[in-house]
Structure 1
Amino acid sequence: MALFTVVIILACLHVGSAYIDCVHGSYIYRGITDEPYERGNILETITDISPDDRLVLEPYLCAIAMEYLELDYTAGSSTATLRLIKSLDADEIMMYADAFYYSITCVGGAKNIRKHTIGDLNDNPPVFPTKSYGFTVSEEIPVGKTVLSVTATDNDVSALSKVTLYSILPPVPEDFGLSEDAQTNSCNIKLTKPLNYNKIQHYKFTLLARDVGSLTDTMIVEIAVKDEDNLNPYFNHGLYKASIKENQVGHFSHITPEAIKAQDGDKGINTSVVYSLTTVIPNQYQNNFEIDRKSGVISVTKALDREEIEQISVIIQAAQENDARKTAETVVMVTIEDVNDILQ
């Protein structure tokens, strides 16, 4: 019989046994109970209840415990059991109080208050506010500027479980870097190199958030680069070669390496350019040429004599139509081809 009694006591201590003081009441801290302490488990067994006492379960400080517990007790019984009707969830409980409180109250008597610290299990991953996020930045933003700040929220309550580490999954864009803000548990995406719309117009990469328990979430980041009007027009070549027969007017018979054409250096804007002749060398032949302002096609308007001159350099300028300060120049080396004048 003694052996049986000892076993029962040990079993009660395992689930948590206690006594009730209906005269003075009590306040007992029952230590740490780790989640998830499952539904149906016994949280406390009360023994040696006087047949004259009547017990009820009541909230203390907040009512959240009443959603988790039921008191299995019959009036006049010497024992009572406090059982979970819902698995303990520290994340929910800590929204209402710093611990899990309840009172086993003697009807018409004192309160017997219990306090449990609920050990938080790292069971919630950090979560980004959205699965993908896109935005546009100017190619002129300075290096070092933060283009995006983002926080992944972790619903675990312990400070350690809330710590979030951020990284960019490969392939990592070389023009952007990442820094972490420990105070706000957030990360900042910063520009590490100057942007150039003509080289890269769009970036897409995956941002990873990971907690100390290796639970993760990802967010796709897409950055569109806005082209700014900050470049001059340009010719594809610094030197063109053209030819025309002597004593003829009109367009050149041959141009290499290709037709003369300029374009806006800002490819995303691509403003129209206009052409003009700036210099003809020798300059006495300035009036022998003209250029179409829109197309850039050069024409000989007064015939040339090879016996007088064999080559002429024509310097042409392309200017951005809406901003004459933005210009480019190239040289056209014109060769005058000989014609047998005697036969003519």
Structure 2
Amino acid sequence: MVPTQGLQISLLLLVLGSLHCGSCEPSVDTRTSSKAIGKVEDKGTMSHERVKRGWVWNQFFVVEEYTGTEPLYVGKIHSDSDEGDGSIKYTISGEGAGTIFIIDEITGDIHATERLDREEKTYYTLRAQARDRLTDQPLEPESEFIIKVQDINDSEPKFLEGPYIGSVPELSPIGTSVMKVTASDADDPTYGSSARVVYSVLEGEKYFTVDSQTGVIRTAVADLDRETQDRYELVVKATDMAGQMGGLSGSTTVTIVITDVNDNPPRFPQKMYQFSVSEGAAVGTAVGRVMATDADMGENTDMSYLIRAEDGGELFRVSTDGETQEAVITIQKPLDYENMQTHRVVVEAVNKHVDPRFVDLGSFRDQTIVVVTVSDTDEPPLFRPSAGAVMEVHEDARVGTLVGIVTAVDPDVENAPVRYSIDRGTDQEKIFNIDAVTGAITLGKVLDRETAGWHNVTVTAVEADNHSQASQTTVSIRILDVNDNPPELATPYEASICEDAKPGQLIHTISVVDRDEPQSGHRFYFTLVPEAANNRHFTLWDVKDNTAGVRTQRAGFNRREQNVYLLPILVVDGGSPALSSTGTLTIHVCGCDTDGTIQSCNSTAYVASAALSPGALIALLVCVLILIVLVLLILTLKRQRKGQRMSEDEEDMRDNVIKYNDEGGGEQDTQAYDMSALRSLYDFPEVKGSESGPDLRSLPQWIQSRVTGDGGPADFSLFRGYIRKKVEQADADLSVPPYDSFQTYAFEGSSSPALSLSSIHTLSTASEQDFSYLSDWGPRFRQLAGFYVPSHLEEDAS
């Protein structure tokens, strides 16, 4: 093989589609790719020169809907290295390869074996390959190509959004847009005119037109009348191939609804209506109904009715029934047969929603005459003047006083007599009476305006010969005030001032209450009672507006000297006769801080607060409470111990010895007892040794020396008498508890040989003391000169 530069593998195309394109020229897109490959030279000798090889390809075209019996030739693949000896094998892969499309491996011819539809798939992408038949090695890189399905006009236009329903107002001008229709064609819009659609009207073209290009439907006339025909059915056709001969077409039905406009006025079917009503019919009673008609529909038929000002027009009113659109005529004022028997009422109907475009078509209102005939009935009595009469009477009026007169008449022609009575449900206490014939209301009980200022009494009037004809009215009776209640001071009756108040300082404003209500208003006068007219502490100032002010007359107050002042005030009203009352204002003197705020109004609390702050007072109170609790605990413990000692005393009274180490204060310690009485113990006029008594030797030596003086026999008569006297006094004293007590007499005397009054010191040699020397002492003797006598020895002592 001779080396050549630019050896190519060519992709030869046979475009059958060009036969169907007429004069169109197929577009060719040529692409070249370079590849370095080895080249065989002189059989067995390898050349290393680089050569370029490439695919030259184009699109294949195959017409859709092929109906032949043989496979349809599509194109041919050929390589320039193919010498026709069958050494090259051609293959294809990709979409439809081997099924829809087949290739001759030797010649490279491609055929379509199936009928293709462009509307289902527009093109197929495949890959071509040239291989060595012996080694199956690719001679060239795989290349991609496209087989495009060429369109033919085999799909008709279709209206996919139908059915179509549109609307247009009646009386719309020509050319008013109604709606738009759209048809779709499945053919290729880029190839030929298969997908070019035009529109036309098959039915209804007299009233509507359609734009051939856009499909917009418009009105063709201006006199569309909903009242004549309220809908139209149009048939619209769509044709492809731009409407040329041989094009396919499709059609759809379009419903156009004519909507209503208010182009018709209301109309009454009759020009006159007649109704009858009784004169006794209540206000609000319906007399009759009339109705105007309207050819329009919906809200355009809404109308309102009114009554023209004619004779009797003020006696009736008209309203519209929202559901039926009827005019309801009702009674607005009571009817009177005796005054007028026939009334003519003009009723007018007017549209609520008026379209200004069609005002010229009519007046949009209509009228009719309603004749109302009033029939006579037996009517109840009629009060004159009407209900709501007000009468007045003074509260001090006497029983039987005339309060007022009510009058009722029969409105009928017969003018029957009327009888009166009071409904006791409105006057249960029978405060008022009424004359059945004249209607005169008189006073039945004494009145009190302060209890009830108004009375509403219902008076009933009936025909004398027909009690079923009755009517009622309410009479309001006002009780006029007389000055029968004195004025009184309004609460509070107390005031407070600071100790450092200055002269002329306003400390309280006094107001007054008075149960009376004079028509000219209250006027009160204030003054101090004559007894307090010369008060030098406070003064009363009449403000002239029914109040008075209390002012200080001097500077400085001392609540420890006087913390409360009483100020009697006399109040007089301006009535005739004038009434008065006296009230006492209590004024407290209080302690205040620097800002004038009251702190305390109690003199005792002032002393404590002056010395201590509030925090210190609280702390002091806490300490006092703690001390009280401690004292109570100590007393409880002492009582328990005392109970234990008393139980021990019953076993051995000699163990009950009181130990004390207080020597005393001599002559100065005289608070326990009047020591002058004890001093008489040492003035013994005589000593009688014959008297029975305790052995002197059993007494302590200091007592012996005091009793005998010279060491002779002791005389205890005076001593015994003194002891007996003190015991009697103790027995007679009911305030002393009946248990043993211990008292200390701290008088030592003038010649005591001992330094201490303690009996323990004197009797210190014996472990157990003998108290038999107390056997003849008086009962309930408690203590003398420092030794103790139990109470259970009282019987022996006596």
Per the shorter chain, which TM-score range?
Answer: 0.5 to 0.7
In structure 2, the residue matched to 1:330 is: 367
> Amino acid of the residue matched to residue 11 of structure 2?
S
The answer as to whether partners of 1:227 and 1:266 remain within 8 angstroms in 2 is: yes
- Decide whether the 8 Å contact of 2:300 with 2:351 is kept in 1: no
Which residue does the alignment assign to 1:106?
Answer: 130
In structure 2, what is the equivalent of residue 262 of structure 1?
A: 292
Whole-Å separation in 1 of the counterparts to 2:220 and 2:250: 25
Matched, 1:167 2:200: yes
* Aligned length in residues: 273
CA contact (8 A) 1:197 1:268 kept: no
- 1:41–1:83 CA contact under 8 A, matched in 2: yes
Give the counterpart of 1:274 among 304, 317, 322: 304
The one-letter code sitting in structure 1 at the alignment partner of 2:10 is G
Structure 2 letter corresponding to 1:120: D
Structure 1: stretches of 5+ with no match in the other structure:
1-21, 252-258, 306-311, 335-344
1:150–1:65 distance in 2 versus 1, CA, 3 Å: farther
Bigger mean CA offset, 112-121 vs 122-131: 112-121
Deviation at 1:54, TM superposition (A): 1.2
Shift of 1:109: 3.4
Letter of the aligned partner of 1:219 in structure 2?
A: T
- CA drift of 1:316 comes to 3.7
- Tell whether the 8 Å contact from 1:179 to 1:189 is kept in structure 2 after alignment: yes
CA contact (8 A) 1:147 1:190 kept: yes
- 1:187 counterpart = 2:211: no
1:27 and 1:113 in contact (8 A); partners too: no
**Percent of residue pairs identical:** 20
1:179 is displaced (CA, Å) by 0.5
Letter of the aligned partner of 1:87 in structure 2?
A: R
How many Å apart are 1:126 and its aligned residue? 0.8
1:104-150 C-alpha deviation (Å, 9 max, x unpaired) = 54223358998877553211111111341335555587753433223
Q: Tell me, yes or no, if the aligned pair for 1:131 and 1:218 is still in contact at 8 Å.
A: no
Give distance in 1, aligned partners of 2:89 and 2:187: 38
1:55 pairs with 2:86 = no
Change (3 A) 1:145 1:114: same
1:240 to 1:269, Cα distance in 2 relative to 1, 3 A: same
Q: 1:42 to 1:266 in 2, by over 3 A?
A: closer
User: Which consecutive unaligned segments of at least 5 residues does structure 2 have?
Assistant: 1-6, 20-61, 132-137, 279-288, 321-325, 357-362, 372-798
CA distance in 2, matches of 1:67, 1:127: 33
CA contact (8 A) 1:233 1:273 kept: no
SS in 2 for 1:319: strand
Provide the TM-score with structure 2 as the length reference.
0.29
**Alignment deviations for residues 173-229 of structure 1 (CA, whole Å, 9 cap, x no partner):** 644321122xxxx4111234455443433333332222243423222222344445x
Q: 1:217 aligns with which of 246, 250, 253?
A: 250
Report the Cα offset of residue 27 of structure 1: 4.2
* 1:202 and 2:237 correspond: no
Alignment partner of 1:26 is 2:11: yes
The answer to whether structure 1 residue 35 and structure 2 residue 68 are counterparts is no
Is 1:124 matched up with 2:155? yes
Partner Cα separation in structure 1 for residue 75 and residue 273 of structure 2 = 105
5 Å-filtered alignment, 1:46-85, equals: 49-58=84-93, 63=95, 68-73=100-105, 77=106, 79=107, 81-85=109-113
Q: Distance in 1 between matches of 2:99 and 2:290?
A: 82
Q: State whether structure 2 residue 116 is matched by structure 1 residue 88.
A: yes
Shift in Å, 1:70: 1.2
Aligned to 2:208: 176
Secondary structure of the structure 2 residue equivalent to 1:221: strand
For 1:151, the equivalent position in structure 2 comes to 182
Secondary structure at the counterpart of residue 238 of structure 2: strand
Q: Distance in 2 between matches of 1:288 and 1:122?
A: 82
**CA-atom RMSD in angstroms:** 4.7
Give 1:198's aligned amino acid.
E
Paired residue secondary structure (1:269)? helix
Query: Matches of 1:106 and 1:141 in 2, distance apart?
Result: 73
- The SS at the match of 1:262 is coil
AA aligned to 1:50 is: D
Name the structure where helix makes up a greater proportion of residues.
2
SS state at 1:122 partner:
coil
Letter in 2 for 1:36: E
Q: Residues 136, 287 of structure 1: CA spacing in aligned structure 2 closer, same or farther, 3 A cutoff?
A: closer
Higher strand share: 1
The answer to whether the Cα contact below 8 Å between 1:205 and 1:220 also exists between their aligned partners in 2 is yes
- Secondary structure at the residue paired with 2:193? helix
Render the CA deviation track for 1:63-115: whole Å, top value 9, x for unaligned.
57776311243xxx5x455332221334455x44xxx8866542233589988
Kindly indicate whether the alpha-carbon contact (under 8 Å) linking 2:164 and 2:181 is maintained by their aligned counterparts in 1: no
Q: Is the 1:101–1:115 contact (alpha carbons within 8 Å) kept by the matching residues of 2?
A: yes
Cα-to-partner distance string for 1:275-311 (whole Å, 9 max, x where unaligned):
333365xxxx465996754445889x84469xxxxxx
Aligned amino acid, residue 267 of structure 2: F
Deviation at 1:55, TM superposition (A): 0.7
Distance in 1 between the 2:235 and 2:294 partners?
A: 34
